[in-house]
Structure formats: C-alpha cells, structure tokens
Amino acid sequence: MLLRLSRQGQALHGRGFFAIAQRWMLGDTAAGTFAPRLPIEYNSATPTRNGARGFLDSQEVAVLIDLIGVPLDLGAGRRGVDMGPSAMRYAGLCRQLAALGHTVNDLGNVEVPIAEVGAVGDPQLRYLEPIQVALVQLARLVDVSLQNKHVPVVLGGDHSIALGSISGAASRRDIGVIWIDAHGDFNTPQTSPSGNIHGMPLAALCGYGDERLISLQGQRLPDSMVDPRKVALVAVRELDPGERRLLAEAGVHVFATEYIDRHGMYETMCRAIEVAGAAHDGIYASFDLDVFDPAVAPGVGTPVPGGLTYREGHLAVEMIAECGELIGMDLVEVNPILDERNITGTLAVEIALSALGKRVWDRSELACTPGS
C-alpha cells in the first residue's frame, strides 16, 4: 500500500529537531538557506530520495535535550513508578545521549508529594489536587524548553504526567501526538472503573472528561488543547467499554494490536506519522513501557499479554525520529519495584536513544532493492 507521508505542498521534515537542529546548534538562523525537502512517497519495497527507504538522509545532527523527571505515582493504582526517573538515570540515560553527540541538560525532578501525606479526594479523580500541582509545573518547564528550541524528554512517573508535558508542548502550538501504549488512557471519571488519573490524560488533553482535570483547575496553559484527529494511538490492546465509545466519538486514530498483526509495525507507523504529521508544529511522542509484552518489559504496573516485541518498539521510535517532526517525548510507567535487575529501566533508555538518533548502522545503508 502506497502512503503519502506529507501534506500536499508542505515539506515533511520542516519542524522537528532533526530537520532544524543545524539552525539551532550551528548558528545558521536564516531559514532561506535551507532547501525545502520534497514530499516523500514510498512503500516497503521502493527506495526513495538519497537511496534511503526511511524518512531521514544520512546526515547526523545534534540537539539540546532537557531531561525532566516527574516522580509521580499518585495517578496509578500501584506504587513504585515514582522511582522510574531514577531507574532511567541509573541506566545511563544522560551519558548515552551525550555519547550520541547531544547536549544534555538534566533539570532534575518536578517536586511531587508522596501519597502518605496527600488526600485522595474525589474517588473518581484520585489525588487530583497534588497531581494538578505537579502537572502545572511540568507544563511550564516543557513550554519553556520548546521556546528555547530544546527537546524536552520527560521521565515518569505514571502516564498522568502526559497531561502536563503535552499541554505544555501544545500551548500556542498545533502539534500531533503519537501515543504508544497498551491502554487507551481515554477514560473520564464517568467511564473509569478505578478513578485513577493515569487512565484519563489523553482524554483530558483532547477536552473530554471532568473540567477540573481538563483545565488543571484553571491553571492549564493557554491554547493547549490537542485536536483528537491528529492523535494516533498505537499498539493498544486493552480498552474499557466507555473509553472505546469516547475514542470513536472524538475521532482518535486507533492502531490496535490487530492492525499491527495484519499490516506490520512499519506500515502502522507510516499511518500514525501521517495522522500526527497533519499538525503544523511537530509531533510529540508519549511512550508507555507497558506497550511491550511483559516478557520484554516486566517492570510495569499494568502489564497486558500480547504486547510489542523488542524490535517493534524500537522500529516505532526510529521511524518517528526519521520523519523529522519529533519535538519531545515522554517515557512512563517504569516501576522498579516490579522490575528484574532494571531491565525495564534500561529498555526505556534504549528507546530514548533510538528516538534521538541512535542506529546500528548508517541510515543511508537502510535502503534495499528487490533481489539485492
């Protein structure tokens, strides 16, 4: 199936960090000095521009990365993901990103209260008050990072943090979202069986649910709503009934595991990037480690059988990186209490590296022709 991966008349590579990093890092701010890239048409068998079958040419670029830890587990039903940022740092995230040539600013952690000193509050919006405080801080940090032309990489924490990170990225920007997760995270207090906010952030980002959560109690950054038609939900395999109805109503593009089974990860990501790439200001990726099969990522709080393989997960983020549109990402739901020798924390680091340019071999050598 032939896919067109850019809008008519617009360059596919115009907004993400791979496309414009040279302007930021090398001091070349004259946009006119960069020749526009042509729209790309390709399928899995046809080499494209520069002989490559992917989105990116062989040029390596370095970027300024802001690491932001959010040790939040109040949105989840199990404790432990508050230690996720430490697990990823311990696995060498900063050092390995720097080894790729990037400049890494570790901004430390957003201050988050622990459950023992906070009130649950509304049982259908558990711990809303302390979660809201943390997410407002996070949104401001991500917004400033992007204003500074850096790439924010947010380390969770449970997936409720994405309401902060992505609303910060979306403030006064038209962004697409690729949400890679075993779950839809599109519940509302009315549809949620648990009241845990980590099952609601994507819905709230798109304007669905309780107004207190959607608006972060009146402190959400301005013009930060996400258009659900520019959201791709990838590799989901467990949805609540009300969540399923809301996703259809909102127009979110859902690429469930059945789609991957039939079409493969490559075409799935082509479609997902096409959906999110309809936005004018780039793509934000939110990666929940429970998207992997539990045999690959044991240290997650809500494991679901039948998940992605190790290579499927890497291919997903490699393709996002190579499309040139990625502006920031989350890595969430790493739970060291449930992990084995930090396997999942290390996997999260490896996913970040692939999303930020690491490859086994020169990308220009990815091309192949039938019979070669």
Report the candidate in 115, 124, 87 with the shortest Cα–Cα distance to residue 289.
87
Of 227, 290, 318, 339, the active-site residue reads: 290
Specify whether the backbone of 183 is left (phi greater than 0), alpha (psi in -120 to 50) or beta.
beta
Dig out the tokens for 157 from the structure.
């924490």
Dig out the tokens for 2 from the structure.
């032939």
What amino acid occupies position 53?
R
13 is catalytic: no
Of 330, 333, 339, 350, the active-site residue reads: 333
* Consecutive H or E run containing 346: helix 343-355
288 is catalytic: yes
185 is catalytic: yes
What amino acid occupies position 306?
G
Of 73, 143, 158, 185, the active-site residue reads: 185
Of 227, 288, 312, 318, the active-site residue reads: 288
150 is catalytic: no
SS3 286: strand
Of 13, 150, 183, 253, the active-site residue reads: 183
Buried b / exposed e along 282-319 (16+ C-beta atoms within 10 A): bbbbbbbbbbbbbebbbbbbbbbeebbeeebbbbbbbb
Of 73, 143, 158, 181, the active-site residue reads: 181
Of 198, 227, 243, 339, the active-site residue reads: 198
183 is catalytic: yes
Active-site residues: which are they? Answer: 159, 181, 183, 185, 198, 288, 290, 333
